[in-house]
Amino acid sequence: MDRKNLRQHYYKPKHQVKLNALQKKRMFSFRFSKVTICILLLAIGVCSFFLYKMLFFPRIQLKGDTVVTVPYKKEYKEPGFLSSYHDQNLTEYVKVEGKVNSKKLGEYPIVYTVSYHGRTTTKTRIVKVIDDQSPKIEFTTDKNNLYICPNAKYSFDDYKAIDNYDGDITSSVKVKDYGKIMKYQVEDTFGNRTVVERKVVYKDIEKPKLVLDSPSTVVLMVGDKFSDSSYQVEDNCSSKVKVKITGEVDTSKAGEYQRVYKATDDSGNITKVVQKVVVMEPVKKGVIYLTFDDGPRSGTTDIILNVLKEKGVKATFFVTNGGPDDLIRRAYLEGHSIGLHTASHDYSVVYASLESYFNDLKLVSDRVEKITGQKSVLIRFPGGSSNTISRRYSVGIMSSLTKEVTNRGYRYYDWNIDSRDAEGGKYSADDIANFVINSLSHDRVNMVLMHDVKVATKDAVGKIIDYGLNHGYTFEAITPFTDMVTQRVNN
């Protein structure tokens, strides 16, 4: 071995000298001690900082989580917070900043700040508005069973998918046919999924559609010609549907009749449409209709009934909810017509609104039906359909009421002769009788307004009847088939 190699062999550099196990252990312990000391110092520093904050800064404690979620379009409700400095409550001094718009998805910071003696503490809560609601699949037919026409294919037209965020996502619905089961699946933008299964049944359970080309109620006069309505009929499964029409209509006699149109498909499903045919009495010129409002009243109504019975004349009583039931019952049993005036006769109630009018009308209607066993469709408006006092309580209400009562099947009757018996008692029985007698005409219907709660009226009725019978007039009670006598609507 030459001198150069000998030197390299016996004299190695220090950094190449290998450490024994004891040396390595000592060196690791030294390094570990330094790291531990650093961590301890850091921990002491952090604890000191928070201790300082706790001792010298006000505190804010949030109720609930610091990160909360709110469903889309649902109102965010603040969970609350507490604030204090040592034993002093500072909750009322906390300022809360930030708003949550639940109609827009996203994150909204709510910042809570409190200051005390120049020191300020702030905390933040994050509110996340999310869409976690699954879409809804709705069906226009049975939601549990899918009925398909025999020997037909599913048309995929009886469902709709609506999502609270995406809106109509019907086009995203995936339908899979598993033979006896049909599965519908849809997923919204945020992965919320809905799956619905329906049992498949090959059977026609749907009724035919039958539509008449004329109104459901046809009004004719006695002697008019009646013809059956034409109609349109269709069915989901059958190409041929049989239609049978039954029911008699006699236009020679006033009354209410029914024609029944029955459509039957190949599977035996039946649809019935009932058309009401009302045959009205002809206009009866020279007929006198004595009508009495506001009753009944003991001491007047009973005397008027005595006179009517004695003379063999029928009349019409438009009653309220006042007076004894037995007078209404007596009038009905003796062949007089019972109409509806109002329950309260309070203009501010009756004409406050459509709803208020019909609520009041129902009360008196129920009373009459309970007493007589019959539901009356005869109406007289307080003040008549031409009254203007109703304008104080609801502008235009008479225009609406006159249409709505007929739409609901009622018949309203005004008058063309006013006996003036309601004018404060300033007219005698003779005056009242003469007002009526001088207004009678053989060339028209004579609809006479009177009030059976007035004392003078009971004494005038006999004179009016005697004059009418002696001069070729006839007396009748109003029926649902009597042509309406109406006035011009002024509100």
CATH superfamily of 59-130: Immunoglobulins (2.60.40.10)
**CATH architecture of residue range(s) 136-202:** Sandwich (2.60)
Helices (H) and strands (E) in the chain, counts: 9, 28
Cα 453 from chain centroid (whole Å): 41
Give me the chain's average pLDDT, please: 91
At residue 425, the pLDDT reads 82
CATH superfamily of 209-280: Immunoglobulins (2.60.40.10)
Residue ranges of the chain with pLDDT lower than 50?
1, 6, 9-12, 14-17
Judge whether 59-130 and 136-202 match in fold: yes
Q: What's the predicted TM-score (pTM) here?
A: 0.60
Q: Are strands 88-89 and 81-85 parallel, antiparallel or unpaired?
A: antiparallel
**CATH architecture of residue range(s) 287-475:** Alpha-Beta Barrel (3.20)
Contact 352, 391 (CB under 8 A): no
Q: Please report, in angstroms and rounded to a whole number, the separation of the first and last CA atoms in the chain.
A: 135
Give the list of residues 6+ apart from residue 486 with CB closer than 8 angstroms, or none.
385, 402, 412, 413, 414
Q: What confidence tens digit (pLDDT) does each residue in 245-304 have?
A: 999 999 999 999 999 999 999 999 999 999 999 999 988 999 999 999 999 999 999 999
Which residue in 318, 416, 324, 415 sits closest to 371, CA to CA?
Answer: 324
Extents of the domains making up the chain: 59-130, 136-202, 209-280, 287-475
At residue 14, the pLDDT reads 47
Q: What confidence tens digit (pLDDT) does each residue in 87-107 have?
A: 899 999 999 999 999 999 999
